Amino acid sequence: RACNGSCEISRPYQQPTDAKMTVQVTRIVENPFDSNRKKLKDFVWKDDMEPHAERRRQIMKAHPEVSKLMGVEPLSKYIAVGLVVAQFSVAVALSDQVGSLMWWLTVYFVGGTLTHSLFLGTHEIVHNLALRSNVLSKLLAIFTQLPIPIAYVIDFKAYHFEHHKLQGTEGVDTDLPMAWEGSFFSTPLRKAIYLAGILFSYTLRPLFVRPKEPTLWHLVNWACVIATHTFMYKTFGPGVLMYCFASVLISALNPCAGHFLAEHMVFYDDYETYSYYGWLNIFCWNVGYHNEHHDFPGVAWSKLPQLRVIAPEFYDNLPCHESWSAVMYNFVTMDNITPFNRVKRRPKSN
């Protein structure tokens, strides 16, 4: 059935080089939120393999031209630099207005949105889709995360690759909530707290679930972040650091934060990955095309809509979201959506 209502979609791509953020979407499942689903007391355990490798194989067999979409997007490095300049420029411009209404509004609407853009820019970069060189990609990722005053990007690269390779595997995929999170964050108030702190759980959980030995790159990451914010503090005062920290904290309540929940929570049947084709992808490097991204991690953000156009028969039957804000609202208000709504797999023995 075609989507009716206020879907955040526009006309389809006509050429592979088109730079639009959204595509025409024919949807079989109109509403991914199943109010009749029972509230889970444990995760959705599966014994099968994650779905993306097999779908990738099928798409490549049916549409070998997809291989032409893979590779570096040259614009990405310039966009990343522009985002860093923009965030620090706003922070400096408002450094003497800390705590004012204008400051808070800017922190929420501009700082929070740019924080997501920066984070998802590093996501693109660590996939080596901005630069081919692994070393240069790490350096660019560190530079791109500088307005975020917590050195996370080197750890993120390692954990994120495991998330792709072994999606849903307990103890390996650190994107998965822990059991206590599912048990505790089960009421509207507690889920609201979970949502407000989702960036902390996303960045701190891996350190407990799957700690890794620090490397020289970790030292470089922290040194660059500390040096940058020390320079900004001494040059422009504490307002810049306060703006950057506040932007990170408040970004958890920005509509763009809905992607953290929307991507892999189980909303409909036992589907474990969901795409979103709306206009917020403009700010988020098309991360809403999440089935497409997991199917082809080597396709850059700018080509994911074209992948969707080339192989619609593989995506039309998958449930997807119309609104990240709706995901956040329904997560808090619907009793049958908790952190337990995730697919987990037990590690395979060698």
Q: What is the pLDDT of residue 154?
A: 96
pLDDT(9) > 90:
no
Mean pLDDT, residues 295-302 taken together: 98
Q: What is the pLDDT of residue 31?
A: 75
- How far is CA 117 from each of CA 69, 147, 251, 258, 282, rounded to the nearest angstrom? 22, 11, 11, 13, 9
Dihedral angle computed from the Cα positions of residues 68, 167, 144 and 225, in that order, rounded to the nearest 10 degrees: -160
Higher pLDDT, 54 or 207: 54
Q: What does the alpha-carbon distance between residue 337 and residue 185 come to, in Å, rounded to a whole number?
A: 10
Beta bridge partners of 70: 299
| Tens-digit pLDDT profile for residues 97-146 | 999 999 999 999 999 999 999 999 999 999 999 999 999 999 999 999 99
Q: What is the pLDDT of residue 7?
A: 39
Q: What is the pLDDT of residue 36?
A: 86
pLDDT(305) > 70:
yes
Helix (H, G, I), strand (E, B) or coil at 46: strand
Amino acid at 198: I
Q: What is the pLDDT of residue 29?
A: 63
Please report which confidence band the pLDDT of residue 293 belongs to, taking 50, 70 and 90 as the band edges. very high
pLDDT(247) > 50:
yes
Q: What is the pLDDT of residue 25?
A: 61
Mean pLDDT, residues 179-205 taken together: 94
